[in-house]
Structure 1
Amino acid sequence: MNYTVSTRKRSDTWSYQIIVDGQYHSSKSGFKTKREAKRAGDTAALKIKTPERNKQTFKEIADLYIKDGMKAESTRRAYKQWLKNLEPIWHTEITKVTYQDVSPLIFDYYDTHKYNGTKSLVGFGKSVFRFASRKLKIDVDNPFDEITLRKQSDKTKREPRLFTFDEIIKLIDNEPNPGIKWLFVCAGLAGMRISEARATRPRAINLKSKRITIDKQRTESNKVKAVMKSEGGERSIRMHDRMIEEYLKLPIPINKDDFLLETFISSTAVKKAFEQQGYPETTLHSLRHSFATVCIQRGIDFKTLAHILGDKLETVISTYAHVNTDMQKLADDILSGKDLTNPETNNRIAQENQQ
């Protein structure tokens, strides 16, 4: 069923008019605001019974569900993404979708995605069927109710791909796109989140003190969060010399409050950049993990590192405490009994590692 709800102001009140499949159906007036009239019209339209109602496909019902109510734009965008992952059942009549149809889609998705993301996909499917049953009055069972996911603790956790400091520099050197290169710099040399790197403004960088201030996050919806993701997220970080060098290569906006990266760079574009350098299934967050590991390797204590990363101490210890190849080599040297306080020994170790 295709419907439109138009609104009109008469005197001091608003009214709605419903058009179903191109034909006028009903109207009502007396609403205080346009929003109230539109919402009432949508609700009334969904209650209209048509002979084709029970023959609607899963996608038709899902589209109605996404359109229904006062959902935020970000919520509708997320729902449309979930819907894409259920494409194989799009054209199946809603009353004929079974557990056997949906379970392979969910568990295949879970093989390559995290627990929470898969749980959200299942939740979306449940909501579509509840919408069909409760609002559209379609007699249908909910196949998503039968799906049970293993808890995160029961699933093997994928460790992030860790880069050594030299590998981070090589990654930056080999990236041709200036915007993506800057994201690599921010994550690999300052431990910034991708949303923080995207939100960099010229006023946040002080070349005299060589520090960058982080106080905003730019999301996938191209909006800026007024509140940081975590407590202590607002912070000032000492810039690496290479970070300053790359910053000076970028076109600096005249207005210091403008974004340094005028063009928004998506997570997908960053992922493709990693793939082109031979690192499939790698995200920018891996560089944040790598930065934290290099800091620990070089003697920065966890409390200071927590401030640099803008995270809680407990989170840093449990999430970012990794061992990279350089740290393993150092441990091997110590356990082998080499005198690391002797400069000659250190030079010999360095030469061995290069070989």
Structure 2
Amino acid sequence: MELNYKFIIRKRAKTNGGASYQLILSYRDRDGKWKQKSKGGYALRSLAASDKEKEKLLAAVKKTGNIDPVNEGMTLRDFSALYISWRKELAPNTLLIYEWLADIAGPLLDKPMTDITYADIFTRLQTLPYGERTKVSWARYMKHLFREAVRYRVIGVSPIADLIYKPRMDTAGGARLRTMTHEEISHLLDTLHARNLELWILMYIAAYTGARVGEVLALTMGDIDFKSHQITFNKQLSRVGKNELGIRRMKSKNSCRTVPAPPCLLRALDEYREHRILYFHGRLTRYRHGEMLTAIVRKILPNHTMHDFRHTYATRLLSSGMDIKTVASLLGDTISTVERVYIHYTDEMREKAADDINKIFGS
């Protein structure tokens, strides 16, 4: 998506031989036309380029540039609610995520959008009591929402069009991902095997296929091919209404996939089908809520969630040297998503490739 504003610093000669600097804000209006607003007379380039002066110029444009009088004073809460009400074509689960992302704006919700600055958004972003992936999602949604606010003439220009949030990195230089050790997975599975076979098999499938929780919950025995040692994921259990869950097709073609099932998983499934209850809906389980499964995981492994099975599966494949295209195919993700989420491991693969090339062709 194109940036809808940019700043330029221009040096202007004075009649007395000195120089002054001008700060120019070029911005794109709702019709896609570029306009400019400027302020001059700065003695130093650093003064013209300061964040404080840029904020002043942005604020002036936001309050005077191409705003519909009907929208004057509209708060972030009001615009977010309106925008979500307009996007009825989106899946119910996506709309609920949008509502939640808007709600965590907290103290900014009741502030007029014309008064919200880059600093406001960035400060809130830094203090959100959530993980790095949630922060990235919130930053992206806020950028999208403010861009739409420009389009609907609620503000003249987005104050965060150039916002880029980089997740905190761990000491190895990779984005922080929670993965499970082999010992942790074994402890979890052994504990559940003794208590609840139904929960045990769900965790077993998640651990050895890397499937999303909704995909695991939608599985039927018909999706498991014991002869070819494969499991097919072609549907998911997710929201079909605000308070209703149901079986839905996958979000994308990439998500539909058939993955190999290792012998240990097939043995576990074989044991489970000997003891399973025949549920009328054909699914392997009566459980319907991923949040409940995460609560079970946390009782046994306090620092982990159901989604950590997926991270663990992916990182183990990448660390073993499997190529990114194959890993993406097994996860039901795009190559770009795998590279972005597991960048530390893909960088290691590139370094290993460079070493291999040096060994093959010589240094």
TM-score normalised by L of structure 1: 0.57
Aligned counterpart, 2:297: 274
2:144 maps to what in 1? 127
Q: Which amino acid aligns with 1:286?
A: D
Residue 278 of structure 2 is aligned with which of 252, 264, 274?
252
Unaligned runs of 5+ in 2: 1-66, 240-245, 347-363
Residues 77 and 101 (structure 1), Cα distance of their counterparts in 2 relative to 1, 3 Å cut: same
Deviation at 1:71, TM superposition (A): 3.7
Q: Distance in 2 between matches of 1:283 and 1:170?
A: 15
CA 1:291–1:145 in 2, change beyond 3 Å: closer, same or farther? Answer: closer
Structure 1 ranges of 4+ moved more than 6 A: 151-155, 292-297, 314-321
Q: Distance in 2 between the 1:59 and 1:252 partners?
A: 47
The answer for the alignment partner of 2:258 in structure 1 is: 234
Find the counterpart in structure 2 of residue 143 from structure 1: 159
Deviations 1:170-201 (A, max 9, x none): 31233456554332111234554434322211
1:284 aligns with 2:306: yes
Query: CA separation in 2, counterparts of 1:80 and 1:96?
Result: 21
Structure-2 residue corresponding to 1:201: 220
Distance 1:148 1:301 in 2: 31
Q: 1:274 to 1:127 in 2, by over 3 A?
A: same
Q: Which amino acid aligns with 2:115?
A: K
How far 1:289 sits from its partner (Å)?
5.5
- 8 Å CA contact retained: 1:195, 1:218: yes
2:231 alignment partner, SS class = strand
1:265: which partner in 2?
Answer: 289
Counterpart Cα distance in 2 of 1:254 and 1:151: 44
Q: 1:301 to 1:93 in 2, by over 3 A?
A: closer
Cα 1:218/1:83, change in 2 over 3 Å: same
Q: Which runs of 5+ in 1 are unaligned?
A: 1-46, 322-355
User: Within 5 Å, which residues of 2 pair with 1:1-355?
Assistant: 50=70, 53-68=71-86, 71-74=89-92, 75-109=94-128, 112-114=131-133, 118-135=135-152, 137-145=153-161, 147-150=163-166, 156-164=174-182, 167-175=184-192, 179-205=198-224, 209=227, 211-218=229-236, 220-221=238-239, 222=246, 223-225=248-250, 229=254, 233-237=257-261, 238=263, 239-254=265-280, 258-266=282-290, 268-280=291-303, 282-288=304-310, 290=312, 302=322, 310=330
Decide whether aligned partners of structure 1 residues 302 and 69 sit closer, same or farther in structure 2, where only a CA change above 3 A counts: closer
Q: Is the 8 A contact 1:94 1:140 kept in 2?
A: no
Q: Secondary structure at the match of 1:213?
A: strand
TM-score using structure 2 length? 0.55
Q: Please, what is the CA RMSD of the aligned residues?
A: 4.4
